Amino acid sequence: MIKVLFVCMGNICRSPTAEGVFRHLLRQKNLEDKVEVDSAGTHGYHVGEAPDQRTQRAAASRSYDLSDMRARKVAAQDLDYFDLILAMDQNNLDALKRICPPDKHERLGLFMSYSKNFDDDEVPDPYYGLGHGFDLVLDMIEDAASGLLEGIEQQLVGKAGDARSGDQLAAKLDRPA
- 167 included as an active-site residue: no
Active-site pick, 13, 14, 100, 143: 14
**Which is it for strands 35-41 and 84-87: parallel, antiparallel or unpaired?**
unpaired
Integer Cα distance of 3 and 60 in angstroms: 25
Question: Rounded to the nearest 10 degrees, how much is the dihedral formed by the CA atoms of 64, 68, 69, 75?
Answer: -140
Give the active site residue among 8, 13, 38, 52.
8
Based on the residue annotation, tell me whether 8 is a catalytic residue of this protein.
Answer: yes
β-strand partners of 110: 87
Give the C-alpha separation, 139 to 136, whole Å: 5
Strand partners, 38: 5
Backbone angles phi, psi at 20, to 5 degrees: -65, -45
Q: Which amino acid is at 41?
A: G
Catalytic residue among 38, 52, 89, 125: 125
Active site residue 125: yes
Active-site residue list: 8, 14, 125
